[in-house]
């Protein structure tokens, strides 16, 4: 079954959707969209360093994305507005990553594949990394679910409950770094934030509880991956962007439904 490239692509898309769904819900609740974008853009620098040092692209991407997340956390509240800080770091990391790639002599690299994904070229090894990373993210978020929800609602409530909000922020940062690393092959660094945010935002009007929102986001993300792949195959369009387009249409539909109810 895994010899069929479309089957591998669909499994990869679903794996990324399952990892992004619960994490994307927290990104939406905490209004961390720019944070996710900055972490994703940093991943291209991780790719360049991985190729230069002849190490795993997954490991390099996780390391740099995690470093970006920690840097943002440390610098927040030190004289810069959050959106300004994230804008500077996100675009700087992407620029330095692209420049670093240009210095890699003797190594051929398809930048478009890393920027926009190449889900149709996913191998069995890639699937193992994607699903392993997804299982790690889901397990980590599930383990800290209650504490993450409490610290999301209120830092003061978290402290009163014996929960350290900074520790929970670190859990989210680590989960985000892993998700970015496994999603590079599927949708690329420029569209990772879309897969984090859009399914969760589309699920919000359909959900009454946080758990229901995370599950609905997973379903929307998985369906978007499969339908987007089928549409890309039928219409001869780029697979990664097609997946995001389907998710965006679902978001439009749930937004219209919410407007009709109110």
Q: For residue range 65-105, list pLDDT tens digits in order.
A: 888 877 777 776 666 666 777 778 778 888 888 787 777 77
Positions in the chain whose pLDDT score sits under 50: 1
The half-sphere exposure of 227 on its side-chain side, counting CA atoms within 13 A, is 13
- Dist CA 38 CA 69 (whole Å): 8
- Dist CA 185 CA 260 (whole Å): 38
- Domains, the chain, in order of start with CATH, read 5-190 (1.10.3470.10)
The pLDDT tens digits of the residues spanning 123-159 come to: 888 888 889 989 999 999 999 999 999 998 888 888 8
């Amino acid at each position: 079954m895994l010899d069929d490239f479309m089957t591998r692509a669909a499994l990869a898309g679903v794996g990324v959707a399952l990892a992004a769904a619960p994490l994307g819900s927290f990104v939406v609740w905490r209004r961390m969209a720019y944070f996710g974008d900055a972490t994703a853009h940093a991943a291209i620098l991780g790719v360049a360093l991985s190729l230069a040092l002849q190490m795993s692209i997954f490991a390099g991407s996780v390391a740099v994305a995690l470093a970006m997340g920690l840097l943002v956390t440390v610098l927040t509240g030190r004289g810069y507005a959050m959106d300004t800080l994230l804008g500077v770091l996100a675009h700087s990391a992407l620029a330095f990553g692209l420049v670093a790639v240009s210095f890699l002599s003797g190594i051929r690299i398809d930048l478009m594949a890393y920027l926009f994904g190449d889900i149709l070229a996913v191998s069995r090894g890639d699937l193992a990394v994607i699903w392993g990373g997804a299982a790690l993210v889901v397990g980590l978020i599930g383990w800290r679910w209650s504490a993450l929800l409490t610290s999301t609602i209120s830092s003061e409530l978290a402290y009163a409950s014996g929960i350290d909000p900074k520790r929970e922020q670190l859990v989210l940062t680590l989960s985000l770094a892993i998700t970015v690393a496994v999603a590079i092959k599927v949708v690329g660094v420029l569209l990772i934030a879309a897969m984090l945010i859009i399914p969760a935002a589309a699920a919000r009007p359909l959900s009454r509880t946080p758990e229901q929102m995370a599950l609905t986001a997973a379903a929307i993300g998985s369906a978007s991956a499969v339908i987007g792949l089928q549409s890309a195959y039928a219409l001869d369009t780029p697979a990664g962007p097609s997946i995001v387009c389907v998710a965006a249409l679902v978001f439009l539909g749930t937004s219209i439904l919410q407007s009709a109810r109110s």
